Structure 1
Amino acid sequence: MVTLSTRTVQDHVALAEIELCGELMIAASAAIGERLSADRIDEVLNVGAGTELTTVPRQGDHRG
């Protein structure tokens, strides 16, 4: 039986994802205009130029 106090790797991943979503929501609420630019999203998520190949492609991004 698993108790509620047992922490798993998924807990840490879920918490990190929730934190990132929160950061995006804060940035979106402070943004001027309808949407955050791709560059602003990268800035909020601390995505650097060296990590481009490991990120999820953006919608409409047709690089192979």
Structure 2
Amino acid sequence: SKVFEGTNYARKTSRIEKYSKLSVIRKALRASSSSDIRMNYAKLTTANNSALRTSSSGDI
């Protein structure tokens, strides 16, 4: 049971680390201007959409 408790603890800590990283990213986004975020978001979405289009048409 000690080993199980250890793995549970490890899972919780890794989860907490993920959340802290996300919060840092969110803070950075808030700090930067909203227009920059919109530009970056638009770039990301267009890149994702084009990647999805190429993968769906080519691979399948």
TM-score band w.r.t. shorter chain = 0.3 to 0.5
From the CA coordinates, give the structure whose radius of gyration is larger.
Answer: 2
Q: More relative contact order in 1 or in 2 (CA 8 Å, sep 6+)? A: 1
Q: TM-score, normalised by structure 1?
A: 0.40
Q: TM-score, normalised by structure 2?
A: 0.42
Structure with bigger helix share is 2
